Chain A
Amino acid sequence: MDKSEWEIMAEVAKGELSAFRKIVEQYQKPLLNYIYRYTGDRAASEDIAQEVFLRVFRTAKEYVPLSSFKTWLFKIATNLCLNELRDNKIRRNTVDIFELNEAGFVALASTCFTPEKETEGRELSALLMRALNSLPEKQRVALLLHKYSGFSYGEIGQMMGCSMSAVESLIHRARQSLKKQLTPYL
């Protein structure tokens, strides 16, 4: 862990709100985007991110800098997201493209893609979000942590409690699945 971050966390453990504010300022955006891409629910993602930061404040004394602070933070976020999804507090945006029949595909494609590049990009992003949300939990977590949060396979393995080769396999299968779902639109 970065020494300055470790020092900031020591201050947070003493209940220093200014130090806590620095942590929130630094991680609010990456954390929110991770949670949003994980849950697919924009409104809920902000509430979960708030809860994650509150847990950081509450459990700061228990933090041991054996791994990076970011790893610890995202592990808390992953566990919270998983709990929320399991408790069905979040309505997952899971439209499985495989579930659509051929006519559905054509209809979806014709409504989604307009000649305007911007609209096309937006719709493709929406399709990508749906495809991400249709991935199995572990594949989605591994892929999101690697792609958008910049964690290495080793760090993800540490967070998820599995080996590097298992992480590699999860990420590869996730990409294969996205490829299957999105190739018709590329």
Chain B
Amino acid sequence: MKECGEIRERLSAFIDDELPAPERKLIEDHLHKCPACAQEESSLRQIIDLMDGLTDESPSRSFIPAAVHRASAWKRCAYVKGHILIPVLTVLRSVFSVVSWQLQANAGRRRTPVDAYLRSFDDFPPESLSSVYISLIQGEST
């Protein structure tokens, strides 16, 4: 790693102390010999110093109470959902299932499929060809 281009690519990692010792030593040696690369390193450090000067913002005084309040509100909602809403809905669903099953069973008892089939013949209008046919069949059977 002797080329200036390669050295410059690694200058940020060098400044941030993110390089292994042997590579760090190589760059240090190069910077002592190469004024252009040393200048590049210096200008990068200037930018870092400038960034150091950026002042910190302080959160508003209501930040912590607001965060705790929001967490508390969410906790209450989660409690209502988990301990009240979901159990109540589960019970309601079970009740609805039982009731609807019961209604279907009662309806099944009142009208069997055979009854329903036979009653469908009552729906023919009087004097229609079908009703004459039905009456003929009935006459034959009696």
Contact = CB atoms under 8 A, between A and B. Distances in A.
Contacts of B71: 17, 20, 53-54, 57
A172 B14 CA distance: 10
A32 B59 contact: yes
B80 to A, nearest CB: 14
Contacts of A58: 74
B9 A57 contact: no
Contacts of B11: 172
Contact of B54 (A24, A50, A125): A125
26 contacts: A17-B68, A20-B68, A20-B71, A21-B67, A28-B64, A28-B67, A37-B54, A46-B63, A53-B67, A53-B70, A54-B67, A58-B74, A124-B50, A146-B16, A147-B51, A152-B18, A153-B16, A153-B18, A164-B18, A168-B18, A169-B9, A175-B12, A175-B44, A175-B48, A182-B47, A186-B46
Interface string A12-38: 000101001100110011001100110
B11 to A, nearest CB: 7
A42 B57 CA distance: 9
Nearest to A51: B70
Interface string B81-99: 0000000000000000000
Contact of A125 (B18, B55, B59): B55
Q: Is the interface of B mostly helix, strand, loop or mixed?
A: helix
B87 to A, nearest CB: 19
Contact of A17 (B55, B56, B72): B72
A81 B55 CA distance: 21
Interface of A: 15, 17, 20-21, 24-25, 28-29, 32-33, 36-37, 42, 45-46, 49-50, 53-54, 57-58, 121, 124-125, 128-129, 146-148, 152-153, 164, 168-169, 171-172, 175, 178-179, 182-183, 186
A21 B59 CA distance: 14
B48 A24 contact: no
Given A17-B72, A128-B51, A186-B50, A29 B56 contact: yes
A54 B57 contact: no
A104 B56 CA distance: 29
Contact of A24 (B60, B68, B74): B68
A51 B82 CA distance: 22
A163 to B, nearest CB: 13
B22 to A, nearest CB: 17
B66 interface: yes
Given A129-B54, A148-B51, 10 more contacts: A17-B72, A21-B67, A24-B64, A28-B59, A37-B54, A125-B55, A152-B18, A172-B10, A172-B13, A186-B46
